[in-house]
Copies of this chain bind each other. A is one copy, B any other.
Amino acid sequence: MVSKRYPTSIEVARLAGVSQSAVSRTFTPGASVSARTRDKVLAAADSLGFRPSLIPKIMLTDRSGLVALVVGGLENAFYARVVQILAARLREAGNQVLLVPVDSDYTLDAVAARLAQYRVDAIVSALAVLSRDAAETLSASRIPVVSFNTPVTAARVGSVGSDNALGGWQAAALLHARGIRHPAFVAGPADSPASTERLTGFRDGLRAAGLPEPRVAGSAYTYDGGAEAATQLCTEGAVDGIFCANDLCALGTIDALRRAGRRIPDDVRVIGYDDTPAASWGGYDLTSFDQDVPALVEAALAMIDRMAAEDAGAGERELIPPRLTERGSTRS
């Protein structure tokens, strides 16, 4: 893809009838230039659509004002919200967002190399999973990296995330309060730390409430994955309370339960995680945990600033407490 060349300062100088140095001084904050020359330059620049380039400054300073945002599936409304809020906050701070969609971890290596070539100031990874290898690759580039919901420990790689274990515990407490006796968990991918932590907290909370171990099914953060897992749980035994690893799974779970003739919440109570817009829609009315995306984003930006200020911040991790919103899917 090739664009027309941008208007140059030479063209501006020619049109304004001034020297190229006068154009340069007009666009350098604090530089000396007469009001008359300045007006001529600005008029010429305006008519040509001239904008001074940031590129020489980037070359001199190695500061690009670019922050890379690595994402895996925007079809998950949670990640769409992370991108939206993070990009808006970075723009407020005068930075620009380089969006890097990747299919999986395995493509991250090549991407990191390319980002380094653009001299990005930081990388935020909103991948559901970040392997240790990928974290090492990012760490080697000397760019501060913050990962969402994946506890990684490499130099200059930190992480922020929802307090998933706390959420799991609270899900157990709520289902216990609603009188359920046959708990189950619909899981995300086996290698997702968030899913594992939610299950751990759920197990601990059930145990503390004197309830049995949850049965577990599922292995994807998707609508279809949730539907399949719920069908399996219904077929293989009794179930009256299901905590799902995320909202997308929970929506599939609810639809599969309804197809199997189960009423919600009367026969089965369902809880999700992420509090996506669909959770509040009448078709689902899903109890869910809000990860507090604005708080996650602020924590990530503050962590990047700390890592940039120190020589090599190591594996910091910050947890944000989730906020439970109860809706019709668990009410008595």
Contact = CB atoms under 8 A, between A and B. Distances in A.
Interface of A: 1-7, 49, 51-56, 58-59, 62-64, 66-67, 69, 73-75, 77, 80-81, 83-84, 87-88, 91, 93, 95-101, 113-114, 116-122, 140-144, 156, 223, 251-252, 254-256, 258-259, 277-278, 281-284, 301, 304-305, 308-309, 311
A250 B83 CA distance: 25
A5 B121 CA distance: 9
| A contact face: mostly helix, strand, loop, or mixed | mixed
Contact of A223 (B80, B83, B281): B281
Given A52-B117, A55-B59, A142-B49, A74 B69 contact: no
B84 A3 contact: no
Given A122-B3, A282-B255, A101 B117 contact: no
Given A49-B142, A53-B119, A74-B81, 18 more contacts: A3-B121, A4-B142, A4-B143, A4-B144, A49-B141, A51-B113, A51-B116, A54-B119, A55-B58, A56-B59, A74-B74, A74-B83, A83-B99, A87-B101, A254-B283, A278-B278, A283-B283, A283-B284
17 contacts: A1-B95, A2-B63, A3-B122, A4-B308, A5-B142, A6-B62, A49-B141, A53-B119, A54-B117, A75-B77, A75-B81, A80-B80, A87-B100, A98-B98, A99-B99, A254-B283, A258-B282
Given A3-B308, A87-B99, A259 B282 contact: yes
A1 B305 contact: yes
Which A-B residue pairs are the 9 nearest by beta carbons?
A283-B283, A255-B282, A51-B116, A99-B99, A49-B140, A74-B80, A3-B121, A54-B117, A87-B101
Copy count, this protein chain? 2
B281 A251 contact: yes
Nearest to A88: B101
A2 B142 contact: no
A308 B142 contact: no
Contact of A53 (B117, B142, B258, B281): B117
A106 to B, nearest CB: 14
A22 to B, nearest CB: 20
A83 B87 CA distance: 13
A84 B88 contact: no
B98 A96 contact: yes
